[in-house]
């Protein structure tokens, strides 16, 4: 059976998982694809740390460029991470005419136009199944399984850390700080969790999904991103009582030819399948014009789910190199026509509003008047507590309204003398 050499850049958690699974399942994979991927070299700055796998020391090197330049290596796998040295090495591999497999969502989201442009110029490809949602084959589904469809919308729970925190706040009725600490102790959150809880990790993934679904480069700077630091147990409890679950959601929509790409805390009806996704699991709903709604669910991170996705890409690229794929299109084939990204102020949504109002006659009427002045209608109101002459929380759910109108309304509400604290706004997606 023909063999193809694999060079691995980065021997961390995922890299070790790739090595372990290739050692364990290499023969099975070879029998399935008709060609044998053979790991020939591994580059990492630390060659001595125990990874829980046994490798021949002669395969290890600190010189990543020597891996790329080795003529026995046909496929370069980048698992270093970050946007510095990884970018340089990927571009170098592409320049050498070698296809690249990567899990580096941040790099592709921020430098995708450059990297995919280089790949197309050199007539090689970049494979990145592991960059979004770990072991869930969402990239392959968009590229292949849903190729007959125009994508109307993608809604994704794409960060296991955030989903674990929000699930804990809901089920255990604990504070954000308590749930975050639990996630760190359990190994689901980093010591510095900013990329996760501030929504950046989810935004990187949303950029890749949007770019793939609609065929144009989505700049990170054009994506609205709001994390979960400001979420309170109070709002989760109120939302539950009103029939909603709170999730950090990536929302990607095609609204009459204008594309929305945004990440923010979102209320989802409890009867919708996405609302039941708990813990560190990810899930993605894709709506196609032909197939309708489809749902993808699984572990979105970790040594083995991510290694599974990396190896699936290795298998595909090896099969392509061994047997050819005439006139195949590359990862991104950018549309020639102009595609417009919708400004966040122009999006429309329903809203959950929690305002702290002085409990006296006429105050709620003032709030309702402000909403009406900004063309926002009220769908329902909830006030569980009464304390005459004191501040009480009042929950308002609105009908669909424009984001810019709601921005103006909430500013006017917070300026009212009867409002005792900054109001809370959470967007609602009914999801059909």
Domain boundaries, the chain: 3-134+303-323, 138-300, 344-427
Query: Which CATH class for the 138-300 domain?
Result: alpha beta
The alpha carbon of 204 is separated from its chain's Cα centroid by a whole number of angstroms, namely 6
* Confidence band of 389 (pLDDT split at 50, 70, 90): low
CA dihedral defined by 313, 317, 320, 321, rounded to 10 degrees? -160
The alpha carbon of 215 is separated from its chain's Cα centroid by a whole number of angstroms, namely 18
Quote the CA–CA distance of 303 and 130 in Å, as a whole number.
11
Instruction: Please give the share of the chain, as a percent, with pLDDT higher than 90.
Output: 89
Indicate the fold that domain 344-427 takes in CATH.
Answer: Alpha-Beta Plaits (3.30.70)
pLDDT on residue 6: 98
Evaluate if residue 330 carries a pLDDT over 60: no
pLDDT on residue 328: 55
What average pLDDT does this structure show over 100-111? Answer: 96
pLDDT on residue 326: 45
Supply the pTM of this predicted model. 0.93
CA dihedral defined by 83, 87, 88, 93, rounded to 10 degrees? 160
Q: Which architecture does CATH list for 3-134+303-323?
A: 3-Layer(aba) Sandwich (3.40)
What average pLDDT does this structure show over 332-361? Answer: 84
User: Kind and range of the H or E element at 258?
Assistant: strand 258-269
Q: Which of 103, 98, 137, 74 is nearest to 10 (CA)?
A: 103
Task: Considering the candidates 41, 98, 105, 205, report the single residue annotated as catalytic.
Answer: 205
Quote the CA–CA distance of 101 and 274 in Å, as a whole number.
30
Evaluate if residue 335 carries a pLDDT over 70: no
What average pLDDT does this structure show over 351-359? Answer: 95
pLDDT on residue 281: 96
What average pLDDT does this structure show over 21-34? Answer: 96
Evaluate if residue 327 carries a pLDDT over 60: no
What average pLDDT does this structure show over 147-159? Answer: 96
pLDDT on residue 407: 98
pLDDT on residue 257: 86
What average pLDDT does this structure show over 300-328? Answer: 87
Evaluate if residue 337 carries a pLDDT over 60: no
Quote the CA–CA distance of 148 and 126 in Å, as a whole number.
22
What is residue 355's three-state secondary structure?
strand
What average pLDDT does this structure show over 273-279? Answer: 96
User: Kind and range of the H or E element at 108?
Assistant: helix 105-122
Evaluate if residue 103 carries a pLDDT over 70: yes
Evaluate if residue 339 carries a pLDDT over 80: no
Are 235 and 228 in contact by the 8 Å Cβ rule? The answer is no
Is 205 catalytic? The answer is yes
The alpha carbon of 21 is separated from its chain's Cα centroid by a whole number of angstroms, namely 25
């Amino acid at each position: 059976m023909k063999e193809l050499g694999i060079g691995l850049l980065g021997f961390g958690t995922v890299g070790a998982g790739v090595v372990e699974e290739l050692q364990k399942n290499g023969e099975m994979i070879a029998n399935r694809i008709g060609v044998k991927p053979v790991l020939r070299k591994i580059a990492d700055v630390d060659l001595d740390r125990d990874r829980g796998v046994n490798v021949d020391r002669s395969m290890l090197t600190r010189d990543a460029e020597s891996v790329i330049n080795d003529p026995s290596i046909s496929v370069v796998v980048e698992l270093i991470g970050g946007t510095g040295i990884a970018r340089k090495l990927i571009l170098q591999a592409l320049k050498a005419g070698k296809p690249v497999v990567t899990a580096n969502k941040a790099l592709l989201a921020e430098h995708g136009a450059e990297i995919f442009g280089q790949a197309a110029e050199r007539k090689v490809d970049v494979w990145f199944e592991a960059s979004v949602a770990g072991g869930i084959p969402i990239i392959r589904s968009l590229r292949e399984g849903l190729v007959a469809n125009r994508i109307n919308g993608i809604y994704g729970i794409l960060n296991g850390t955030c989903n674990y925190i929000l699930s804990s706040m809901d089920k255990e009725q604990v504070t954000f700080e308590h749930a975050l600490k639990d996630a760190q102790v359990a190994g689901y959150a980093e010591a510095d969790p900013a990329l996760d809880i501030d929504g950046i990790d989810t935004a990187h993934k949303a950029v890749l999904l949007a770019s793939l679904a609609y065929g144009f480069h989505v700049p990170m700077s054009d994506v609205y991103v709001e994390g979960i630091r400001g979420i309170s147990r109070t709002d989760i409890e109120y939302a539950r009582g009103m029939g909603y679950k709170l999730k950090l959601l990536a929302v990607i929509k095609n609204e009459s030819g204008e594309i929305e790409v945004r990440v923010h805390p979102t209320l989802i009806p409890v009867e919708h399948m996405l609302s039941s996704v708990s813990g560190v699991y990810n899930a993605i709903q894709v709506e196609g014009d032909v197939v309708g709604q489809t749902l993808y669910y699984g572990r979105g991170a970790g040594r083995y789910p991510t290694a599974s996705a990396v190896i699936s890409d290795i298998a595909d690229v090896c099969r392509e190199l061994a047997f050819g794929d005439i006139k195949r299109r590359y990862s991104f084939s950018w549309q020639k026509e102009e595609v417009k990204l919708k400004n966040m102020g122009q999006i429309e949504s329903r809203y959950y509003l929690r305002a702290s109002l002085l409990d006296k006659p006429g105050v709620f009427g003032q709030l309702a008047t402000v909403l009406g002045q900004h063309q926002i209608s009220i769908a329902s109101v909830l006030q569980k507590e009464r304390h005459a002459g004191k501040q009480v929380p009042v929950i308002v759910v609105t009908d669909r309204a424009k984001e810019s109108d709601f921005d103006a309304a909430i500013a006017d509400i917070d300026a009212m003398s009867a409002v005792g604290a900054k109001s809370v706004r959470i967007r609602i997606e009914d999801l059909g």
